[in-house]
Chain A
Amino acid sequence: MDTLSNLALGFSVAVTPFTLFLAVVGCFLGTIIGALPGLGPANGVAILIPLAFTMGFDATEALALLTSVYYGAMYGGRISSILLNIPGDEPAVMTTLDGYPMARQGRAGDALVLSGVASFAGSFLATIGLAVMAPLLARVAYLFGPAEYFALYLLAFCTLGGLAGKNQAKSAIAALIGLSIAMIGIDPNNGTTARYTFGNLHLNDGINFLVAIVGLFAVAEVFFFIESHGKDSAVGVKLDKVTLPIREILNCKWVMLRASILGFFAGVLPGAGASLGSFMAYMSEKAIARDGDTFGTGNPKGVAAPEAGNNAAAGGALVPMLTLGVPGSGTTAVLLALLMTLNITPGPLLFADRPDVVWGLIATLFIANIVLLVMNVPMVRIFVYILSVPAYVLLPGVTMVSFVGVYSLSGSYFDLLMMVVFGIGGYILRKLEVPLVPVILGVLLGNQMENSLRKAMTLSDGDWTYLFSSPIAIVLWIAAIGGFVAPMFLRGLLRRPPLPGDGVADQD
């Protein structure tokens, strides 16, 4: 009952007409920021921090605005994934896999509503998890050292092979390209070796994920559009009526629940974050679904799982941020900085010292979730109208916003050049039918995996057995090996025909 009385305190702090107004504004802005390629939750929140200072908001108000933007951007990321095949931000990459094929089949509305509901389920459950178990869960972070993180990333890479639809070799090549891109920059483990920077200072910090995503997906799309005079382009999917696909939502309820739990725990681990959450959610659902082989061709479960997963991870990432002061993702790093500037120091004592702030924040998250559900389900029509804009208007617009968004990251023309370079690379890869999603995952996870391995080797004086020295690490290794080997043996055995009447339209 403690939690309930705390929550009542939170709502009494958070529910004022002004904070509600800020939550609505934040949700709306966040959804747009998330939907626009080039603007993700991290820079959305970063852009609005100076605004919150200029307006002289107090802690509750500033947090109401910025966490609404955060959750809003997590919801919004799926929109361009589904409608344009361009992920709005990095956690939404997985949503392109089935969301866009669904839109191609004329079910864009269904995909948007379903993913909206999945996002709600994910973030709602995660917020409950945050409210009930946060101080307890903080202890989980203590258990994860370099060895355990390395095994976790290895698990992710081992299941990557299952991602490929047609050609495993091309997926592997794509992941290797991603890994190579991840190596660019100063080696963080010795602090001085510049790798693949060619003496260019702009490359010292490595490649920003958003630059890679916008380049590979959005800019490459423009090249395709120009080449084919619009025929070959992804843009311009069929418009349908937006109805509530109740059957599919009910069909996916266990998917959402499982994906939310998995995503939440991925979020709680400081080193993992939302991208890993959505990836793991997608891959595990693919593995256990009876119609797993239709994942990637527009399976609604493939839309629900990553969206529930990444939104739950967004909530989970607040756990280490609030209880340890360790940000679990780029966005929570920005939120952490905001809290410090407001003279609130997250850490083990935050829940005891500043219950008004913590529970006010949690109450705001619940409010933002309701607002976002309303905005993203009944009002999703607004976003579907994007389709009625001719592609020759839409695409330049999206490109322009991408450029502005990426420029706002660093204020450097160099990132824009990099984006075009990635666009050309993405165009070539697509011509060669090399999938782009493993490239992004390679960039996202490769860095972390290398760092974990290098740290583990430093701690153990190069003794490899250190990597299997804890029960958690051993379990993760077994899962990783299982995830890699099992598909090879089981592929023939377990292939079952798609169930008739499952509501899954088989493409082609």
Chain B
Amino acid sequence: MIPSRKDLPMLAALVPATFVIVAPFLWLIISSLKTEAEIGVGDPFALPDALMWQNYVDAWSVGGFADLIGNSLINVAGVVLLMLLTCVPAGYALSKIRFPGREWIFYAFIFGLTIPVQAIIIPLYQVLTGLGLINSLTGIVLAQVSNGIPFGIFLMRSFFLGVPNELTEAARIDGANHFQILTQVFLPLSMPAMQALVIISALSTWNDFFLPLVVLISPDVQTLPLGLVRFASTYTTSYRLVFSGTVITFLPVIILFILTQRRFTEGLTQGALKG
């Protein structure tokens, strides 16, 4: 990348600022390859004499990261699938079908958009306990989907509202029912909105901490952020393990983001601006 001459004064400020912002990542990665004795001594950004890849092997097995990643993947897959299955049809019904009470149902969903999940956690915990869903990935998926539904419906509805009604009416005259219109006409059209919904719900589920902390009690069902916090508080004195374990949790997402960054950024921005 050859910088433009006009940009040089701005780059003089932006490059150091960018370095400061990514410094925590660099420091963690460098420290994660050091021996215990080398951490915290001398220049924090200096590379160690020998790269200790063994730290990663140790952290992986000691921290049980294979299970944590597996649980997180199941969690994300469940949420994304259920979000699509609930929000796409609901968004269609609330924008393209006219029926009495439509606005009230929409407002009831929008109301949920303003209530933080922490503010309903006591009865939510009781409901999950009552249904036997505490300490289960099914329970966490249902709670997270319910929490995400207001945003998902809002997003899909705004998108469908932008599709001309003539399209629905023409299909109706051709004898199609609403299920057919939704699956054959609207699904192919709504790829950008669904992409935004998938990206936003996948990222927020992968990173969620509060609900898993309350719902997922035993280590074998825990997700990655919760598992890392437990790992870090168990091995407080073993910095090399904590550092390499931390890198294991964020590196996959960062690589995935860099590979898909244009779509990712677009989906996230459009989703947030609509929602």
Indicate, yes or no, whether A interacts with B: no
